[in-house]
């Protein structure tokens, strides 16, 4: 069972879009091996729709094993947080020596 994480909001240094992380695991400025971030992309809901809205993607990576997984295209941030936490827990089980 996953424990709730305290997510902190930051901003992407390239386009100033919102991004979220926990336990100082932001890939931009951490020394942790397992890194976690949720980022936002402005996309049309359908291929033909020109009106863009935010969608969220969660990313977890292990820098030593050079592995990375992305979950998402979530409409709601809470869904992205839940699924990204699950992915993080999987990485902790796969690579306990890197936690």
Three-class SS of the chain: CCCCCCCEEEECCCCCCEEEECCCCCCCCCCCCEEEEEEEEEEECCCCCCCEEEEEEEEEEECCCCEEEEEEEECCHHHHHHHHHHHHHHHHHHCHHHC
The token pair at 67 is: 């592995």
Q: How confident is the model at residue 34 (pLDDT cuts 50, 70, 90)?
A: very high
Please give the mean pLDDT across all residues of the chain. 92
pTM of the model: 0.90
Q: How confident is the model at residue 3 (pLDDT cuts 50, 70, 90)?
A: low
Q: Tell me what percent of the residues of the chain surpass a pLDDT of 70.
A: 96
Q: How confident is the model at residue 45 (pLDDT cuts 50, 70, 90)?
A: confident
Q: Is the pLDDT at 50 greater than 90, yes or no?
A: no
């Amino acid at each position: 069972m996953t424990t709730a994480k305290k997510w902190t909001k930051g901003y992407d240094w390239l386009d100033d879009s919102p991004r979220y992380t926990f336990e100082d695991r932001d890939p931009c400025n951490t020394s942790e091996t397992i890194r976690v971030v949720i980022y936002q992309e402005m996309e049309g809901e359908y291929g033909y729709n020109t009106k863009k809205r935010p969608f969220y993607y969660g990313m977890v990576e292990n820098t030593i094993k050079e592995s990375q997984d992305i979950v998402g295209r979530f409409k709601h941030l809470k869904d992205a947080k839940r699924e990204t936490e699950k992915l993080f827990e999987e990485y902790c089980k796969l690579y306990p020596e890197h936690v």
